[in-house]
Amino acid sequence: MNGELILFFVLAIVAISAALGMLFSRNAVYSALFLILNFATVAVFFLLLGAPFIAMAQVTVYAGAIMVLFLFVIMLLGAEQIQHQARRGWQRPLAMLLTLVLLAESAYLIFTRSDVLTVLQPAAADYGSPQSIGMLLFSEYLLPFEVTSILLLAAMVGAIVLVKEDKKSGGQK
Amino acid sequence: MIPVSYYFALSAILFSLGALGVLIRRNAIIIFMSVELMLNAANLLFVAFARANEALSGQVFVFFVIAVAAAEVAVGLALIVVIFRNRQSIDIDEMSNLKG
Amino acid sequence: MDAFALVPWIVFFPLIGLVINLAFGRRFGERFSAIVGTLAVLSAFVVAVLQFVSLQAHPHGAVVPLADWINIGSLQIPWAFNVDTLSVTMMLVVSGVGTLIHIYAAGYMHYDVRYKEDPGSFTRFFIYLNLFIAAMMILVSGNSYLMLFVGWEGVGLCSFLLIGFWYSRNPDGSKGLLNSQAAKKAFVANRVGDFGFLLAMFLTFWAFGSLSFDQVLPNAAAVDPRIIMAITLCMLIGVTGKSAQLPLYVWLPDAMAGPTPVSALIHAATMVTAGVYLVARSAPLFGAVPEAGNVVAIVGAVTALFAATIAVAQNDIKKVLAYSTISQLGFMVAAVGIGAYVAGMFHLVTHAFFKALLFLGSGSVILALERAHHPLDGHHDEHHDDHHDEHHDDHHAPFDPQDMRNMGGLRKQIPTTYRVYLIGALALAGLPPLAGFFSKDEILTDALHANMLVWVLLTAAAFLTAFYMGRQIWLVFFGEARTKAAKEAVESPSIMLIPLGILAGLSVFGGLINVPVLHPFTDWLEHTLGHDFAHATVFNFGVAIFSTVLALIAIYISWRLYGRKPLAAGEADPLQQRLGFMYKGMQNKWWVDELYDALIIQPYRRLAAFLADVVDWRFWHDWVHDTLIGRGFGALARFLAEPVDMGVIDGISRGLAALAKGLGRGFSLLQSGYVRNYALMVFFGVVLMIGYLVFSS
Amino acid sequence: MDFFSSADLITALPLVFLTGWACILLLVAAFAGKRPGLLPALSLAGLLATAYLLVSQMGLEAEAFGGMFVTDGFSTFINLVLALGGVLSIALSYDYLQRMGIAKPEYYVLMLFSLSGMMLMASAADLIVVFLALELLSIPLYVLAAIGRPDARSEEAGLKYFLLGAFASGFLVYGIALVYGATGTTLLSGVVAAAAAGLEYPIYLVLGAGLILVGLGFKVAAVPFHMWTPDVYDGSPTSVTAFMAVGAKAAGFAALLRIFVAAFPSISEQITPVLFAMCAATLIIGNLLAISQSNVKRMLAYSSISHAGFILMAVVAYGNDAVRFDVVSSALFYLLGFTFASFGSWAVVMAMEKSLGRGLDFKDYAGLFRRSPGLAIAMLVFMLSFAGVPPTLGFAGKFYLFRAVLEGGYVWLAIVGVVASLISAYYYLRLVVVMFMQDGEPEVHHEPMLKITAGLTAVATVLLFIFSEPLFAWASQALLRIF
Amino acid sequence: MEFLLQPLNVLTFSPVVGVLVLLFLGKRDGLSRWVALGTSLVTFGISLWVLGLFNANDPGLQLDFAYDWIQAASWNIKYAMAIDGLSILLVLLTTFLTPIAILSTWHAVEERVRDFMIFFLLLEVGMLGVFLAQDLFLFYIFWEFTLVPMYFLIGIWGGAQRMYAAIKFFLYTMAGSILMLLAILWLGINQGTFHLPELLALGNIPAQEQFWLFLAFAAAFAIKVPMWPLHSWLPDAHVQAPTAGSVILAGVLLKLGTYGFLRFNLQLFPQAAVELAPAMATLAVIGIVYGAIVSYSQKDVKKLVAYSSISHLGFVMLGLFALNAQGIEGAILQMVNHGISTGALFLIVGFIYERRHTRELSEFGGLWSIMPVYAVLTLIVSLSSMGLPGLNGFVGEFTILLGAWGAGQGGALGSIWFTVFAALGVILAAVYMLYMFQKMFLGPVTVKANEALKDLSWRELAIMIPLLVLIFWIGLYPKPFFALMHPAVEQLVTLFQTAAIP
């Protein structure tokens, strides 16, 4: 067992724990923080996999900007907690059961079919560098890139349309 | 070195946990965060496969997923805010007037 | 030059009469209707006579085609008439007796419609009668089984119409459904017979390739006897229906609900003999399988005796005659069954004379009582208004002018009727030298040669015949009047008496047409039937004397019982204590009607009700379609009327309906409005699918 | 390598134009949004121009942007249907929004953005583009569904749609990742090539295809991914419902057909049973649930689920090379018929809607035939078309669909379809019963655009059936590019 | 132009002209009635013209035409129509009954007269189309199209439970039709054409496929006929439908089913027809007996007549599946007979319903004395319905039974017992018909409300007289009717012997 593998397991345990933490925290703020931890851990994985640019984006955009926005909204609404009401009691156990089934299916798949899947070899030097990604974005992936820009524009318009106070219904808070 | 199947297993676990979050939480924001976790698991898989295939396209895809996630967050949070304004609650179980 | 081409007119004349009466009868009144109706039949009679005359020159007759009818491939059935000695015999009887009865009816119905307070019905009566004559003529003159069947059903229809002539009444004159019930019974019973006839026709067609007499009958030898056996037995079913034989005879007594001329014409002289005609006509078929003939003969003989026993204990003057008719039809059927076709036909003819006479005579008696019971206002005669007076109805409802217990001593009041009636009775009893003697004797003689059992049965029946006719004569015409009406009975008008007289004459001399030794009738029919089926019977003195003596003994016994000490008003029938249970059985017609009611009619009704209400409606319509299919989806309910009681299947239906409802509710329960539930459903689908994909590939 | 040229732009010209036009309208909305009729008019103009460009592209078959974008008969057909849908949506929206008091200039802009996404779906030949297009069509729809705010129903619809949509796209992304893992590419042509060359781990491709099916199945509202549909259709303003009922479905099926027919025929053996089960479940459950509805909008929502099931019937046979073209054409033809009837019926619903969410019950339609025979007869035509009764386009669509199914050899599926259309006839007829045979005093808004739309779509539904030869010809030539 | 002037096109679509006139007429009730009546009479006239053009000696299709309709996507669908001996009588029956039915609505339909007439004329178009179409696709369209107007006729102008009945009618019929649609598609795909003559010319459908296709077609037709046990929609539809609707429903719409069997099941799948003839005959015979028994127990006159239809159409089915000339010709004639007799019976029920607004048997009794003309007409029609010789019903029933017997002795049916039990139906018919007649017309008048009833008006007589003329005509001289169909049936039967019995 080499160092990299140990690192992988440690990080994996952290990531999974963080995910579980997010899942089961009563307080939404803690959930968000756990999720940030998870994202950060995944960013390390990205680094391990030779994707520094993506790791950067993960930390700045995801863990940074997006999660801050989440925290902001949680604070803004004061909606950290929801009164506990035991409604629809079968939903939770059923969901867990199904999740377990899904995991069992994945395990079956992994252990019976894919345990010999490619062992990753050290990558080329400029693999995953910002330059190479950038080149790709503006050449091969021009169309998705442009679509993304429109998508963001549309989302922006949508967000504004939703939140903008109507003059007619100005009486509302 | 680490086999890709390890990454696959990890991403599968994270994805499942994300899905579980959607299923068991009532707080709309946390549900939303769980969805982000699912997307993140997919991203992990992409990057791992990209590495296995020695191709960059997987990483590019992750980039787009992150951008889309950002867009979704913008709209999603706006929706949640608007609804909170109206109802003073983001318990999605309370939003079950449309049914049948 | 022969008149065969005229034969279609025996059908057309009555039809023309019918149409004229239908169009103008009501407007021009009774006299017009009666004249038109009678002339129509008379014209037919004239045509029949012309045929008779033509046949003297061309004794083998002719087939007169009129038009095509049903032509499909090998099935070729034209409207065609068959003129031969057999059919012309029937034509003469039908139109001859028919004419007389029309004349009689003109008088009889004049009164009857007034007693029933519906003068407008007079025309209707003649329309029906003409229709009947037309149908009967088709029956006897058709050249194929199918055309015969047209007439066969046609006369059945007329029988229905005429039995139900007083459709709003009971036989005793009160308001009710019984007459129409009787009419319906007649039609249905006949239909049962027709069912057999139809099957016989199908068999015939597919065996012979045709239904025409001239193509079927000569080829009887070429066809498998088993098929002919089947044909003849199926025909027998038809015969038992139409000619009122066991077991389908039950309609005929009830048919007396019709006006008396109808009973005379249809239910004594003509229609009911159609079965005999059919067998005679099919002689080559019956002749080819003697076993079938035996069955026919036994049926006829048993019927003869059976009906005679019932006739003994009847109190209704027409019922006695009705059972007598069944009995006499049994004689004829037995005769044709044993192969004595001529004897059967001979008896048919003479029976037509004397039984028509007896019925018409009984009509005269009934009318006499009726007129005495509530004399009609002369003023009312011409301008009767339709005003119904219920009290009036109720007032004379209990008086039954047909009940012999209400009569007695009538020979003084209505002497002419008495005389002709006596002639008819004696002819029926078979006393020489009246018509009945010869014909019955010929049957008995033939039976003695052919089948001992038949002979015994028929002889016993003959004995009873003489007895009950004697009983009737004593009860009706002798002794003292048992009611006021009987005391004041009025003789019928001459328009009724003249036909009676003519018939009386025929009853006396009718036997001469086949008088022994000369047997002209046998020779006459031989042209058609051929020598095999129409050979002269040697007169057997032993049989003749034996039967005559028996008849005399029977009359004597009847005198001992009824003549010597006449029945007093309200007194029980002297046979009652002597025969005990037997008498009760006879009086109640051996409970056959009740038996049929219990075995067939009620079960059928219950079956129909069960199928209709439970199986078809509640189960199939309501439960399967509405509950199971409809409500299972949870929505049809609102379009349903009140939920219907589920009856026997209530329990099951509730269980299944609940299950189906639960299913529908289950689905919409999933659609709960909760996002997490929806997501769970999505997730569930994913897990299921991945499971499948992982484990299947 | 040259990844971009003017040729690319020309190939994608209608889409580029429409997107550009949407951006321009955004500016117009910002600066001249006060004039209420302006934006809808401009949107209409833009859509008509797009349609013109699409028509001029008929017969063109070309790739652009490195094979990520394809213009072929298939995409042109779908895009024209979408453009038609857009035109009808906008025609229906204007008066309705005014009446409901929720008119906003951005509404039209969002609609055009969403339409761009839909059109991109039809042309996308790369899974990344499919994903982005899906999001581009969805995100404006989330907003549009909630545009009736502060109406609680509209907000609820928006949030439900959003959360579940995001959830489903998670599966889609994961599926794409698996496909990528199996084949090393997201280009459809690359997938085909990789599959042809032999895959090391085909199970990843199968699973990926399955998860993609989940994501797209959600969009087209296939059971068991359908549950958002009735609630969202019900809660959204009806003009939005009309738009998404046709647009999202058409776009979803466009992607489904293109991806599966073009890229996944090699794994049809594994996928077909899944599709079969999905299709049968959709047919049965969609119809069963529609029966118990008392609200017309919900009934139509469930009915749109069942129509998804019908179209899926064709998709089931996608793996059979011999019938591949009939699969695509019959689905396209059915979509076209569905578009007319769907918009027509929504127009009638809008004419009957009193205020947001009110006046939608069956009982509100009682006596419509007496009150407004034209609308009632139009609705009758749509219901008959939905139920597949001649002489309507819906019948021709079913006819074609069943043919594809039978050609594919799925007799049992056809029988399920038969039973389903029978059940569907029941609830469509119920509405007819209410309109024609019950008495009532319905409230009808006689807005010209609604009536014209209803009338024109009704006439088209019948006439296009009688003279359906050119439509059949067009659909059967709307070939999908096969790599 | 040539297309428009095709006689059969003119015939089929002439009612549409009336529909257009009515559309522009506005809500003038009186005028609407006259326009509809005029249109239907003109259509009848056109059908007579077609009869004039028809050559009775030609066993094949006549006045036929086929235009390409949908050729795209290798559909090969044609717009094809033709008339032949199998269909001409039914076409005439349709055009004959429609004006009669319209005339019967004169006072019965007071509400929304114009709409009623529009639906009625559209119904006629549909029915004519079904009889004339020679392309399976076109046939199916007309077939389904007839549902819609009838659905409204029942649903809008029907009785208290009209909506339930209308929906049931529609769903039931559609249930069968869709299976037929699948079979049609199968044929179209595998044979490459929907054009009936071409399909017949190809005629190489394997026996196994024939079997299933036969069943799929039969599902549609058996429901329409209706054959036992698929009859449950019929009493509802009949009882709830307005009189004119019942007349057309019984008179023509049910014949669509039997005609379908004749035209498609027998012609296209002769082997399966031979194979399945005993099974079909079994159902037919059960229907005959069952319908007759159930009729007897009805308390509602209209329901009684409705159930009697099940029995009568059982005869038709039995005749068809005798698969010989007598049976089939009898069956075709019986279709016409049933149209006339049962149509007349429904009219009769309608007359009394208009007067008394009830159809309960117990509400009547003794009507003969009050309405003698009505009574006599009813009697004649009842007798025709129960198959009295000399009237039309007998000719049909007799030839059917005769044919079935022949088929039982050495033909397709294999047993004479079918005929024996079917002939039992003849007895039972008398039972229920006479029961009805007795309950309505005989006996004393028991209900006060009946005493003031008026006898038939001239208009009502005018409706009945043409029917009566036909009742007698067919009963006494059916030759012209047989002559029209004989060559075609003969050809059909030889087709069986050569194609089906190897």
3-state secondary structure C509-551: HHHHHHCCCCCHHHHHHHHHHCCCCCCCCCCCHHHHHHHHHHH
How much is the mean pLDDT over chain C? 81
- State which amino acid sits at residue E489: V
Is the pLDDT reported for residue C648 higher than 80?
no
Is D384 part of the contact surface with chain E (CB cutoff 8 Å)?
Answer: yes
Number of separate domains in chain A: 3
d(C-alpha C190, C-alpha C192), whole Å: 5
**Are the beta carbons of C696 and D273 separated by less than 8 Å?**
yes
Lowest mean pLDDT among D217-221, E39-43, E199-203: E199-203
What is the reported pLDDT for A34?
92
**Are the beta carbons of A102 and C676 separated by less than 8 Å?**
no
At A35, the pLDDT band (50, 70, 90 cuts) reads very high
Verify that A92 and A169 share a domain, yes or no.
no
List the single residue in B68, B75, B99 with the smallest CB-CB distance to D231: B99
The residue of chain B nearest to residue A60, with distances taken between CA atoms, is B66
List the single residue in A16, A53, A82 with the smallest CB-CB distance to B91: A82
**Are the C-beta atoms of residues C690 and A105 closer than 8 Å to each other?**
yes
Is A139 part of the contact surface with chain D (CB cutoff 8 Å)?
Answer: yes
The residue of chain C nearest to residue B96, with distances taken between CA atoms, is C673
Closest-CA distance, A52 to chain B, in angstroms, reads 10
What is the reported pLDDT for C214?
86
Spell out which residues of chain A touch residue B59, defining contact as CB-CB under 8 Å: 51, 53-54, 128, 133
- Counting every residue, how long is chain A? 173
- Selected for mutation to probe chain C from A23, A82, A92, A102 (highest C CB count within 10 Å) is A102
Verify that A170 and A108 share a domain, yes or no.
no
Kind and range of the H or E run holding B76: helix B57-87
What is the reported pLDDT for A173?
34
d(C-alpha C323, C-alpha C312), whole Å: 9
Read off the pLDDT of residues C496-524 as tens digits, 9 standing for 90 and up.
Answer: 888 889 889 888 888 888 877 777 788 88
- Across the range E435-446, mean pLDDT stands at 87
Spell out which residues of chain A touch residue C680, defining contact as CB-CB under 8 Å: 91, 94-95, 98
- Across the range E442-461, mean pLDDT stands at 86
Name the phi and psi angles at C354, rounded to 5. -80, -30
What is the reported pLDDT for C665?
57
- State which amino acid sits at residue E37: L
% residues pLDDT > 70 (chain C): 89
What is the reported pLDDT for E356?
86
What is the reported pLDDT for C172?
75
What is the reported pLDDT for E218?
92
* Radius of gyration of chain A from its Cα atoms, rounded to whole angstroms: 21
**Are the C-beta atoms of residues E117 and E21 closer than 8 Å to each other?**
no
In the three-class reduction of DSSP (H, G, I as helix; E, B as strand; rest coil), residue C316 is classed as strand
- Selected for mutation to probe chain C from D160, D291, D302, D423 (highest C CB count within 10 Å) is D291
All residues at 6 or more sequence positions from D176 whose CB lies less than 8 Å from its CB, including other chains: B42, B61, D127, D128, D130, D131, D186, D208, D212
Is C683 part of the contact surface with chain A (CB cutoff 8 Å)?
Answer: yes
**Are the beta carbons of C621 and E444 separated by less than 8 Å?**
no
The answer to the question of residue A96 being in a domain is yes
The residue of chain D nearest to residue B69, with distances taken between CA atoms, is D166
Spell out which residues of chain E touch residue C205, defining contact as CB-CB under 8 Å: 402, 405-406
What is the reported pLDDT for E175?
81
What is the reported pLDDT for C667?
66
Cα C312 to Cα B88, C418, C465, C687, E9, distances in angstroms: 105, 20, 8, 93, 75
**Are the C-beta atoms of residues E64 and E9 closer than 8 Å to each other?**
no
Read off the pLDDT of residues D10-27 as tens digits, 9 standing for 90 and up.
Answer: 888 999 999 999 999 998
List the single residue in A88, A95, A102 with the smallest CB-CB distance to C690: A102
Closest-CA distance, B99 to chain A, in angstroms, reads 15
Which is more confidently placed, C569 or E122? Answer: E122
DSSP letter assigned to residue E65: E
Verify that A4 and A74 share a domain, yes or no.
yes
At B18, the pLDDT band (50, 70, 90 cuts) reads very high
What is the reported pLDDT for A115?
53
**Are the C-beta atoms of residues C376 and C492 closer than 8 Å to each other?**
no
Closest-CA distance, A159 to chain C, in angstroms, reads 22
Is D425 part of the contact surface with chain E (CB cutoff 8 Å)?
Answer: yes
At A19, the pLDDT band (50, 70, 90 cuts) reads very high
- Counting every residue, how long is chain D? 483
List the single residue in B19, B26, B97 with the smallest CB-CB distance to C683: B19
The answer to the question of residue A134 being in a domain is no
Verify that A5 and A40 share a domain, yes or no.
yes
**Are the beta carbons of E383 and C157 separated by less than 8 Å?**
yes
**Counts of helices then strands in chain A (DSSP H, E):** 7, 0
**Are the C-beta atoms of residues E202 and E238 closer than 8 Å to each other?**
no
What is the reported pLDDT for A86?
54
Interface TM-score (ipTM) > 0.85: yes
- Selected for mutation to probe chain B from A120, A127, A157 (highest B CB count within 10 Å) is A120
What is the reported pLDDT for C636?
34
- Across the range C297-317, mean pLDDT stands at 88
% residues pLDDT > 90 (chain C): 6
**Are the C-beta atoms of residues E317 and E338 closer than 8 Å to each other?**
no
**Are the beta carbons of C694 and A101 separated by less than 8 Å?**
no
d(C-alpha D348, C-alpha C545), whole Å: 102
**Chains adjacent to B (≥3 CB pairs closer than 8 angstroms):** A, C, D
Is the pLDDT reported for residue C387 higher than 80?
no
List the single residue in A28, A98, A115 with the smallest CB-CB distance to B5: A115
CA angle C234, C237, C238 (to 5 degrees): 95
- Across the range E56-75, mean pLDDT stands at 84
Contacts across the A-B interface (CB distance below 8 Å):
234
What's the pTM?
Answer: 0.86
Closest-CA distance, E433 to chain C, in angstroms, reads 10
The residue of chain C nearest to residue E411, with distances taken between CA atoms, is C206
Verify that A67 and A118 share a domain, yes or no.
no
Lowest mean pLDDT among C35-49, C658-672, E301-315, E378-392: C658-672
Question: Phi/psi class of residue A43: alpha, beta or left (left: φ > 0; alpha: ψ in -120 to 50)?
Answer: alpha
List the single residue in D156, D173, D177 with the smallest CB-CB distance to B95: D156
Read off the pLDDT of residues C249-267 as tens digits, 9 standing for 90 and up.
Answer: 888 888 888 888 888 888 8
CATH number of the domain residue A52 falls in = 1.20.120.1200
Is the pLDDT reported for residue C388 higher than 80?
no
Domain that holds residue A16: 1-84
Kind and range of the H or E run holding E118: helix E113-132
**Are the beta carbons of C694 and A91 separated by less than 8 Å?**
no
Lowest mean pLDDT among C392-406, C548-562, E274-288: C392-406
At E233, the pLDDT band (50, 70, 90 cuts) reads confident
Closest-CA distance, C685 to chain E, in angstroms, reads 30
The answer to the question of residue A5 being in a domain is yes
**Are the beta carbons of C673 and B92 separated by less than 8 Å?**
no
Is the pLDDT reported for residue A85 higher than 80?
no
Which is more confidently placed, C372 or E375? Answer: E375
**Are the C-beta atoms of residues E274 and E323 closer than 8 Å to each other?**
yes
All residues at 6 or more sequence positions from D27 whose CB lies less than 8 Å from its CB, including other chains: none
Contacts across the C-D interface (CB distance below 8 Å):
82
Is the pLDDT reported for residue E428 higher than 90?
no
Place of tokens 């709830």: E240
Closest-CA distance, A105 to chain C, in angstroms, reads 6
What is the reported pLDDT for D20?
93
At A170, the pLDDT band (50, 70, 90 cuts) reads very low
In the three-class reduction of DSSP (H, G, I as helix; E, B as strand; rest coil), residue C401 is classed as coil
**Is D92 exposed, middle or buried (CB count within 10 Å of its CB: 0-12, 13-18, 19+)?**
buried
Query: What six digits make up the tokens of C422?
Result: 């006596």
Which is more confidently placed, C469 or D200? Answer: C469
Give me the sign of the Cα torsion angle D191, D195, D196, D197.
positive
**Are the beta carbons of D292 and C685 separated by less than 8 Å?**
no
Read off the pLDDT of residues C575-607 as tens digits, 9 standing for 90 and up.
Answer: 777 777 777 777 777 777 788 777 777 787 788
Read off the pLDDT of residues E164-187 as tens digits, 9 standing for 90 and up.
Answer: 888 888 888 888 888 888 888 888
What is the reported pLDDT for A25?
86
| 3-state DSSP of chain D | CCCCCHHHHHHCHHHHHHHHHHHHHHHHHHHHCCCCCHHHHHHHHHHHHHHHHHHHCCCCCEEECCCCEEECHHHHHHHHHHHHHHHHHHHHHHHHHHHHCCCCCHHHHHHHHHHHHHHHHHHECEHHHHHHHHHHHHHHHHHHHCCCCCCHHHHHHHHHHHHHHHHHHHHHHHHHHHHHHHHCCCEHHHHHHHHHHCCCCHHHHHHHHHHHHHHHHHHHCCCCCCCHHHHHHHHCCHHHHHHHHHHHHHHHHHHHHHHHHHHCHHHHHHHHHHHHHHHHHHHHHHHHHHHCCCEHHHHHHHHHHHHHHHHHHHHHHHHCHHHHHHHHHHHHHHHHHHHHHHHHHHHHHHHHCCCCCCCCEHHHHCCHHHHCHHHHHHHHHHHHHHHCCCCCHHHHHHHHHHHHHHHHCCHHHHHHHHHHHHHHHHHHHHHHHHHHHCCCCCCCCCCHHHHHHHHHHHHHHHHHHHCCHHHHHHHHHCCCCCC
Verify that A46 and A91 share a domain, yes or no.
no
Q: State CA D29 to chain mean position distance.
A: 27
- Respond yes or no on whether the N-terminal peptide bond of residue E7 is cis (omega within 30° of 0): no
- Across the range C192-213, mean pLDDT stands at 89
Spell out which residues of chain D touch residue B89, defining contact as CB-CB under 8 Å: none
Is the pLDDT reported for residue A11 higher than 70?
yes
Which is more confidently placed, A97 or C515? Answer: A97
Verify that A78 and A90 share a domain, yes or no.
no
Verify that A78 and A97 share a domain, yes or no.
no
Is the pLDDT reported for residue D300 higher than 80?
yes
- Across the range D309-337, mean pLDDT stands at 88
Verify that A122 and A103 share a domain, yes or no.
yes
All residues at 6 or more sequence positions from C35 whose CB lies less than 8 Å from its CB, including other chains: none
How much is the mean pLDDT over chain D? 89
Is the pLDDT reported for residue D278 higher than 90?
yes
- Selected for mutation to probe chain D from E185, E186, E193, E233 (highest D CB count within 10 Å) is E185
Closest-CA distance, C692 to chain B, in angstroms, reads 17
- HSE value, Cβ hemisphere, 13 Å, CA-based, for C510: 32
Is B71 part of the contact surface with chain D (CB cutoff 8 Å)?
Answer: yes
Verify that A77 and A107 share a domain, yes or no.
no
Query: What six digits make up the tokens of D282?
Result: 């959709």
A14: nearest Cα among A38, A49, A43, A44: A38
Is the pLDDT reported for residue C661 higher than 70?
no
Cα E241 to Cα D369, E117, E244, distances in angstroms: 19, 15, 8
Give me the sign of the Cα torsion angle C198, C203, C209, C210.
negative
Helices C415-429 and C452-477 cross at an angle (nearest 10°) of 170
d(C-alpha E204, C-alpha E271), whole Å: 11
**Are the C-beta atoms of residues C167 and E443 closer than 8 Å to each other?**
yes
Verify that A16 and A66 share a domain, yes or no.
yes
Query: What six digits make up the tokens of D480?
Result: 């999908």
Query: What six digits make up the tokens of C443?
Result: 């049957």
E303: nearest Cα among E245, E354, E356, E360: E360
Is D237 part of the contact surface with chain B (CB cutoff 8 Å)?
Answer: no
C562: nearest Cα among C584, C582, C578: C578
What is the reported pLDDT for C395?
46
d(C-alpha B53, C-alpha B51), whole Å: 5
At D116, the pLDDT band (50, 70, 90 cuts) reads very high
**Are the C-beta atoms of residues E3 and E58 closer than 8 Å to each other?**
no
- Across the range C287-296, mean pLDDT stands at 86
All residues at 6 or more sequence positions from A35 whose CB lies less than 8 Å from its CB, including other chains: A18, A19, A22, A67, A70, B33, B36, B37
The residue of chain A nearest to residue B93, with distances taken between CA atoms, is A87
- Across the range D349-371, mean pLDDT stands at 85
Name the phi and psi angles at C83, rounded to 5. -105, 115
At D292, the pLDDT band (50, 70, 90 cuts) reads confident
Which is more confidently placed, C627 or E427? Answer: E427
Query: What six digits make up the tokens of C219?
Result: 């080829």
**Are the beta carbons of B24 and C676 separated by less than 8 Å?**
yes
- Across the range D363-389, mean pLDDT stands at 89
**Are the C-beta atoms of residues A23 and B21 closer than 8 Å to each other?**
yes
What is the reported pLDDT for C634?
43
Chains E and A touching, counted as 3 or more CB pairs less than 8 Å apart: no
- HSE value, Cβ hemisphere, 13 Å, CA-based, for D354: 8
Name the phi and psi angles at E225, rounded to 5. -55, -50
Would you report the helix, strand and coil content of chain A in percent, each value rounded to 5? 70, 0, 30
What is the reported pLDDT for A81?
66
At D201, the pLDDT band (50, 70, 90 cuts) reads confident
Verify that A3 and A72 share a domain, yes or no.
yes
